[in-house]
Chains A and B, each alone.
Chain A
Amino acid sequence: MLKEKKHQIFIFVIFALAVLSVPFFLQGNYLLNVLVFVGINTMLAVGLNLLLGYAGQISLGHAAFFGMGAYISGIVTSRYPVEPFLIIFLAAVCVGLIAFVIGFPILKLKGHYLAMATLGFGIIMYIIFNETVDWTGGPSGLSGIPSLKIGPVVFDNDQSNYYLVWVFTLVVMMLSINLSNSRIGRALRAIHDSEVAARVMGVNARFLKVQIFTVSAVISAVAGSLYAHVMTFIAPASFGFNFSVELLTMIVIGGLGSVYGSFLGAVILTMLPEFLRVFQDLDIVIYGLMLILMTMYMPGGLISGIEMAAEFFSSRLRKGKGE
């Protein structure tokens, strides 16, 4: 984490500009479509990272919140002529409330028990998505979800969807960076490092964990709503245990506790399967292997490797100037 405040703002601005200028170079290119999903996955990964990377609480059921956002938006907007943006907001509030209520009992659990409980929750939601056929359309999915509109602009092609998704994602990334450098961000990291010491210093660990769980769930739900409107069709298969694992792998590979790490992980895990057929067939094997190897040998994720390299080169440069 590059410490200098000014550096951080500078880096983010460069990143944002780079992201927003991509469509100019990729007009009509299939890559643009993939990058829309990189955006969605980045948002999801950043959300999960808040919970896992900062507060150190594992969740294997985050796909459930993603699905809840998607289905609430999808079901309501495909049946009733309501303003979809309003529904995105309402879905977020709804999922937030549910996460808040579930959060209290679930986050009393630690370690493996928390992992199993979140896994169980995820599977229960997955079963609900599959079985409430009258609402969700069951395993064959829900179609007819309208695209989003602002005035005359309809978000129904890769170009406009790219901007739609990435504006949201950039905002989430920025807010995340704000959080990490703040009193609450420190309190979360303190909980991760030594929950006992954090509590002794007055950090209300229980409540804070529930709060960050809720924030993380809300981010996932918003990502889900956007996903529903971009795809105009959703099915339960996208919201199961496998996707929860994929999200976990993204942030472990990219970097726990790092916003750019989340982006990196999302890029790798969204793009590689698209461009390497081999990767597609081997995906679970590779995820499993990566989880093990990264945790053993590079627990800070790829981003920590990149940061170390950057530190190395910049100190080289400074030494050179000094002489």
Chain B
Amino acid sequence: MLRLSNITQIFGGLNALEDVSFSVKEGSITGIIGPNGAGKTTLFNIVTGLYTQTGGDVFLGGENISFLETEELAGRGLVRTFQNVELFRKMTVLENVMVGLHTKSSSGIFSCVFKLPRQTREEKAIREKSMVWLKYTGIAELAEMTAGNLPFGKGRLLEISRALAAEPKIILMDEPAAGLNSRETAELALLIRKIRQSGVTVVLVEHDMDLVMDVCDAIVVLNLGKKLAEGTPREIQENPAVISAYLGEG
């Protein structure tokens, strides 16, 4: 589904990523782990077009997406959530998800301004579908709340709803468990499984080892910008190189 080939990223003398290659199987839940500074978020930024890699390529379902702009990816089925939860804080919860449906709708400036019938019908459909996605993550009752006022955990769920609204083939989550308490993390694990069940491939960057070992089918370990290991959770847990890279970490 997603293949990274020899990704190298150099920031002014610093090798953030060096020759990283791995594949993500369709329908899997893959975790990317590694000590801080290993380059995980940089990797996500490259895949989602926010950075352009210094070397290497990214393939989505066989298509080379290395040099596409970020906005061209959602339509191709690739979405992501952010470590800091990038919500549209001044809009309502429902409106946030409605923006998620941007690639699933098509009214342009002209039809919106002149309120053509097609646009009115589409608007109704967008609204209804958005409610469905809010129900999916269990926050439907917060629909009219201003997103900026949401408690942190609910904000994460909103971001996921918004991403799912684009009906992606693959969703990249950047540290989704960060800042969640243990109950919320358990609910997150259930949600991630539910997402995979519906046919969406999930890739996570995470620090929460319990969550990763529990939920992931495959794990890729990065350290200091290089791929250290790749395998099933059991294999990774028993890999001596991984253990020593994490010595001192939780």
Contacts and interface: CB of A to CB of B under 8 A. Distances in A.
Check whether chain A touches chain B (CB < 8 angstroms).
yes
Interface of A: 3, 175, 178-179, 181-187, 189-190, 192-194, 196-206, 211-212, 215
Contacts of A205: 71
A172 to B, nearest CB: 10
Interface in B51-102: 69-75, 79-80, 82, 86-91, 95, 98-100, 102
Nearest to A180: B112
A199 B50 CA distance: 9
Closest 3 CB pairs of A and B: A202-B74, A182-B112, A202-B103
A182 B123 contact: yes
B65 to A, nearest CB: 14
A17 to B, nearest CB: 20
Contact of B109 (A3, A196, A201, A211): A211
Interface in B113-136: 113-115, 119, 122-123, 126
A202 B144 contact: no
A184 B108 contact: yes
B107 interface: yes
B166 interface: yes
Given A185-B112, A186-B91, A199 B105 contact: no
A214 to B, nearest CB: 9
Contact of A201 (B69, B89, B144, B162): B162
A206 B69 CA distance: 11
A215 B109 contact: yes
A197 B88 contact: yes
Interface string B11-44: 0000000000000000000000000000000000
Given A184-B107, A193-B89, A179 B112 contact: yes
A183 B105 contact: yes
7 contacts: A179-B113, A187-B102, A197-B87, A200-B74, A202-B71, A202-B72, A202-B74
A194 B73 CA distance: 17
B70 A183 contact: no
Contact of A189 (B72, B90, B108): B90
Contact of A202 (B89, B102, B107): B102
Contacts of A211: 109
Given A183-B123, A186-B95, A193 B88 contact: yes
